Amino acid sequence: MTDHVTSTAGKSQLLYAKSKVFLHLTKHKTGNVEGFLTITKRTASTSNKELAINFIPKSILNSEDVKTLEWFDLYGLDGEKEYSPYHEDANQTKQSSSNEPVKKAYITRPSNSSSTAYAFGVTIGSLYSIAVRPPSIHWKGSIILHSTLGERLPPIFFHDDECPGFKRELSRKRKQFQPFSENNLKGGEIPYWGGDRFITVLRKYAAVEANPAEKTILMINPTPSDLSTFIPQDAIERSNDKTSLFGQGKWKLLTTMAKLTNFTKNKVNEVAQNFEQPEVKAISEDFESARVYLAKWALSIEEEANRTRSKLILNDDYKSLLIEKLGKDFSSLVTPQDINNASRKDPLKKAEWDSYFDTNGLPKITIQEIKDRIFHGGVDPEIRPQVWPYLLQVYPWDVSTQEKHSLEITLQEQYLDLKTCWQTDINKRETDLFKDQKFRIEKDINRTDRDISIFKRLPEETSDDNEDVSVIKNPNLNTLRTILITYNELNANLGYVQGMNDLLSPLYYVIRDETIVFWSFVKFMDRMERNFVRDQSGMRLQMKTLNELTQFMLPEFYLHLEKCESNNLFFFFRMLLVWFKREFPYETILKLWEIFWTDYYSSQFHLFFALALLDKHSNTIINNLSRFDEVLKYFNDLSMTENDVDDLLMRAELLFLKFRSMVNVIDIKERYEGSAQLISSDLRDLIGTELVIQKENEPCSVE
Amino acid sequence: MARPSVQNKRSSQSLFTPIASKEADLKIVLLGESAVGKSSLVTRFASNAFDADKESTIGAAFIVKKYYVTDPETNEVKLINFQIWDTAGQERYQSLAPMYYRNASVAIIVFDLTDISSLTKAEFWIAELEAYNREEHKIQILLVGNKSDLSKNENDNQISETVERLKVPYFKTSAKEGTGVDELFKYIVDSIDDGIFVESRETLDLDQKSKKSSCC
């Protein structure tokens, strides 16, 4: 206990103070304990590791100390100058942003008797990590200090809206045009909040590094092995904010992960080392006698699958390991009821969306929270035209209304330039390549979503108009044509590929503004181009990854598919290529795509959605179907509804969470044993939210 | 050999569902330039329908169709399980084509009578399949000129020259109006080698059913 701040009476120098921080001891406000968060230095010779971080309840402080702390919160680090325009004595209270005190201020250290009144503290030297939970519309931002002794310390909540010191910080930030967090916990998407300054100040006195496994855990003066392991279990369990359904899953997962700590520290050596590799199943080369159509393309996926199969279909050791580590918590995660209650929400409506932005059009809550909301509920049709360009990153999230306006003008000009380029260039229009591309586009435009009202065949159109496909009488389809041809100018290598019209049509249906539709399509194609590259490698990789994912997550079903000679998952080709557009009603696709675009869990969530589809139908198929053509026909003939989408999204989310936890458990095992990588990098990439981008490199020619 | 009469199960289903004594699987692949009417031909054959606004095929579609044939002399009913791969026309998906025509018994190469450039693509496919057949495979190759309802015979000379040179059976169809489609599939059925028929599962099912009923 010598490391701890003993409550010897006396004065300490303030290095940081924040007012209006609270302990939430019960669900009700009456249970809140107001106090100050401080960093203090006992004597001039006190080292950084001996600096104390304290929560001091206001009730135990004398009025002089309260005054000092409130002053320090307002001016202690930044000075007073800008708020004292009539005082010229700037040398006394210099303005600073160095996060060091502008002048020495002291408070009385809490005495022994106060330790029962919820005061607590740790020295930086005994601080192991800090769990950081930025604020959201549903909860206040909070931090939890984890000491190396593993004590249970309660979360400290920042009531920024009540805190004068924070309001001053925020206005200073705004003046400096840095409206966003300097800690970049989640890629700089979180608006500035009270905990940020604490971390910034702490960085002056200690090395603070995000835990690679969970970015919201900051490790204090970590050793390399600290960074490779997990967080102490006890503290984080307490932080589970049960009053909010939002983020429950994630917080639950954190708890699950935290439980792994004991495993990493104590039990890993007890785990059986002996992994029996099942014999790799011989690949039948006898295609002539096979009932199935197999070709090189599918074969290569299958061969790859056979190579990974013995690894990914987990043997008993892995299974019991996962049950041991994840079993209990997973049983609560896998109840469909649980997911049903927690996961799917009503669509995001206009009033709620508007409330996310301040008067300048800047987001007031984190982008991750907005995405969380959209991921779990989708967007009301009324505001889709506004929301989609953000989701597709046509507009950055942090663009002000005015900046957005000038951005729109630029986009308009650029689009017009591209369009005019092919519309007016006679020589270009006469080339075989241009004519060939235009013809291909027109053939498909004429048969794009004709069952949707705005694309319907007009009375004056007869089906005989098919004779000359360049005559497109429907004005909406005409605009689609213009956009596709213009996109070809921008991305000349790719060329038009069938299916791109399917990707464009919903964008136009929702957004309508030709310019914004065009740029939304450009952004959508950034992530979809890999589906259309000439050598099909992008599709192949996704099929292979889905295959591995199925082996890993649905091993019994995979073995059945193997028996049916369907394990190449060939029937998913179209679903992956145009993101299930042909499988679901049009309106449902709008919802599905906006959920995929959030990249909330993974930029390749569509693969988990595909996995969910397999999961949902696995029992029916195992019990009833045994032949390739039967399985193929079964998936071909699936006619799905919006209800199916909600069910599948819940399953997909669950499967993702399970996948991520399984990968974590196996990672730790492998790290300790130095064994080979079970999880391929393609599979591991599924946890990433960065877009996977693959461009066509070969120039386009006449086909 | 007497010519068996062709009977569409759909049309006779309500009155009489034939029980086949023999059956065979027949794998067919459709290849050809985009928008020539491959899917429409299959739809006309499988469900006797036409949709002018049918969307483009992505990847490939797989259609199964049960087809009953009665031999007028023996009254023997045979069942043909058509398994049809309807492929996407665009070149970008061409690299996938071998997985569809591999193991196929019949390849229907389709072009658009009103778009002479689609005949060039048909020639390409015929050449590719003939090359494949030289490796001791035997896919029956048929050429189909579709959209005869729209054709004003403007390309007839060039088409007959090409057809003559290619030496493959040639059919003119209109998937929209249904003309020529029956003839095409009748030809395919007639060409089926008797040797591929096996005892029908339907008969087996019937045997099992009668066994059940007799023991109860």
Chain A nearest-CA distance from B215, in A, is 26
Identify the pLDDT of residue A662.
81
Distance between CA atoms of residues A493 and A536, nearest Å:
15
User: In the predicted model, what is the mean pLDDT of residues B158-166?
Assistant: 93
Task: Examine the domain organization and report whether A198 and A117 are in the same domain.
Answer: yes
Residue with tokens 């579609």, as numbered in its chain: B61
Residues of B in contact with A495 (CB under 8 A): 92
> At A558, which CATH number?
1.10.472.80
Do the chains contact at A703 and B90, CB–CB below 8 Å?
A: yes
Task: Examine the domain organization and report whether A105 and A143 are in the same domain.
Answer: yes
Chain B nearest-CA distance from A299, in A, is 9
Identify the pLDDT of residue B1.
42
Closest CA to B178 of B18, B3, B47, B82: B47
Distance between CA atoms of residues A109 and A12, nearest Å:
6
Contact A612, A575 (CB under 8 A): no
Degrees, nearest 5: CA angle A101-A106-A111: 135
Query: Is A534 touching B (CB cutoff 8 A)?
Result: yes
User: In the predicted model, what is the mean pLDDT of residues A654-673?
Assistant: 81
Please report whether residue A555 resides in a domain: yes
Mutate which: B28, B51, B66, B102, vs A, most A CBs within 10 A: B102
Contact A591, A640 (CB under 8 A): no
Query: Is A106 touching B (CB cutoff 8 A)?
Result: no
Identify the pLDDT of residue A218.
86
**Enclosing domain of residue A485:** 392-529
Averaging pLDDT over each range in A52-56, A87-91, A285-289, which range is the top one?
A52-56
Please report whether residue A101 resides in a domain: yes
pLDDT averaged over every residue in chain A? 77
pTM for this predicted structure: 0.66
Q: What is the DSSP string of B155-198?
A: THHHHHHHHHHHTS-EEE-BTTTTBTHHHHHHHHHHT--GGG-E
Task: Examine the domain organization and report whether A436 and A373 are in the same domain.
Answer: no
Distance between CA atoms of residues A333 and A345, nearest Å:
18
Under the banding of pLDDT at 50, 70 and 90, the label for residue A419 is: very high
Task: Examine the domain organization and report whether A648 and A505 are in the same domain.
Answer: no
Q: Tell whether the model's pLDDT for residue A129 goes beyond 90.
A: no
Q: Tell whether the model's pLDDT for residue A49 goes beyond 60.
A: yes
Chain B nearest-CA distance from A332, in A, is 40
Task: Examine the domain organization and report whether A88 and A230 are in the same domain.
Answer: yes
Under the banding of pLDDT at 50, 70 and 90, the label for residue A136 is: confident
Chain A nearest-CA distance from B62, in A, is 7
Alpha-carbon distances of B179 from B31, B45, B65, B172, rounded to whole Å: 20, 11, 19, 8
Task: Examine the domain organization and report whether A52 and A157 are in the same domain.
Answer: yes
Contact A570, A298 (CB under 8 A): yes
User: Is residue A497 exposed (0-12), middle (13-18) or buried (19+ Cβ within 10 Å)?
Assistant: buried
Q: Tell whether the model's pLDDT for residue B145 goes beyond 50.
A: yes
Under the banding of pLDDT at 50, 70 and 90, the label for residue A357 is: very high
Do the chains contact at A295 and B93, CB–CB below 8 Å?
A: no
Query: Is A298 touching B (CB cutoff 8 A)?
Result: yes
Distance between CA atoms of residues A494 and A378, nearest Å:
31
The residues on B that touch A, with CB distances below 8 Å, are: 27, 34-35, 52-62, 64, 83, 85, 88-93, 95-96, 98-100, 102-104, 114, 150, 176
User: In the predicted model, what is the mean pLDDT of residues A567-587?
Assistant: 92
Please report whether residue A493 resides in a domain: yes
Burial A419-432 (b: 16+ CB within 10 A, else e): beebeeeeeeeeee
pLDDT tens digits for range A292-327: 223 334 445 555 665 555 555 555 665 666 666 555
Do the chains contact at A464 and B56, CB–CB below 8 Å?
A: no
Identify the pLDDT of residue B49.
93
Distance between CA atoms of residues A485 and A491, nearest Å:
10
Do the chains contact at A498 and B58, CB–CB below 8 Å?
A: yes
Mutate which: B42, B62, B80, B86, vs A, most A CBs within 10 A: B62
Q: Tell whether the model's pLDDT for residue A506 goes beyond 60.
A: yes
Task: Examine the domain organization and report whether A165 and A288 are in the same domain.
Answer: no
Identify the pLDDT of residue A657.
85
Please report whether residue A299 resides in a domain: yes
Under the banding of pLDDT at 50, 70 and 90, the label for residue A557 is: very high
- Collapsing DSSP states into helix, strand and coil, what is residue B80? strand
Chain B nearest-CA distance from A501, in A, is 10
Task: Examine the domain organization and report whether A323 and A469 are in the same domain.
Answer: no
Between β-strands A141-147 and B5-7, what pairing exists: parallel, antiparallel or unpaired?
unpaired
Task: Examine the domain organization and report whether A359 and A316 are in the same domain.
Answer: no
Degrees, nearest 5: CA angle A240-A241-A246: 110
Identify the pLDDT of residue A345.
86
Please report whether residue A538 resides in a domain: yes
* Reported ipTM: 0.84
Alpha-carbon distances of A676 from A86, A230, A303, A588, rounded to whole Å: 69, 21, 20, 42
Residues of B in contact with A625 (CB under 8 A): none
Task: Examine the domain organization and report whether A337 and A349 are in the same domain.
Answer: no
Q: Tell whether the model's pLDDT for residue A418 goes beyond 70.
A: yes
Please report whether residue A39 resides in a domain: yes
Structural domains of chain B in order of their starting residue, each with its CATH number: 5-215 (3.40.50.300)
| Last residue in a domain, options A380, A401, A432 | A380
Do the chains contact at A629 and B62, CB–CB below 8 Å?
A: yes
Question: Using CA atoms in the order A485, A490, A495, A497, what is the torsion angle rounded to 10 degrees?
Answer: -70
Chain B nearest-CA distance from A293, in A, is 6
pLDDT tens digits for range A391-416: 999 999 999 999 999 999 999 999 99
A56-60, A173-177, A576-580, A689-693: lowest mean pLDDT where?
A173-177
Task: Examine the domain organization and report whether A48 and A157 are in the same domain.
Answer: yes
User: In the predicted model, what is the mean pLDDT of residues A117-127?
Assistant: 80
pLDDT tens digits for range B194-209: 888 988 876 666 555 5
Under the banding of pLDDT at 50, 70 and 90, the label for residue B92 is: confident
Between β-strands A127-133 and B198-199, what pairing exists: parallel, antiparallel or unpaired?
unpaired
The percent of residues above 70 in pLDDT, for chain A, comes to: 72
Identify the pLDDT of residue A21.
93
- Collapsing DSSP states into helix, strand and coil, what is residue A472? coil
> At A486, which CATH number?
1.10.8.270
- Collapsing DSSP states into helix, strand and coil, what is residue A698? coil
Q: How many structural domains is chain A composed of? A: 4
Do the chains contact at B34 and A498, CB–CB below 8 Å?
A: yes
CB-closest option in B91, B98, B114 to A295: B98
Residues of A in contact with B42 (CB under 8 A): none
Task: Examine the domain organization and report whether A203 and A230 are in the same domain.
Answer: yes
Q: Tell whether the model's pLDDT for residue A655 goes beyond 70.
A: yes
Distance between CA atoms of residues A693 and B10, nearest Å:
48
Do the chains contact at A288 and B103, CB–CB below 8 Å?
A: yes
Chain B nearest-CA distance from A290, in A, is 9
Please report whether residue A697 resides in a domain: no
Averaging pLDDT over each range in A147-156, A670-679, B88-97, B176-185, which range is the top one?
B176-185
Please report whether residue A402 resides in a domain: yes
pLDDT tens digits for range A594-624: 999 999 999 999 999 999 999 989 988 998 8
Do the chains contact at A499 and B58, CB–CB below 8 Å?
A: yes
User: In the predicted model, what is the mean pLDDT of residues A632-658?
Assistant: 83
**For B35, nearest residue in chain A (alpha carbons):** A443
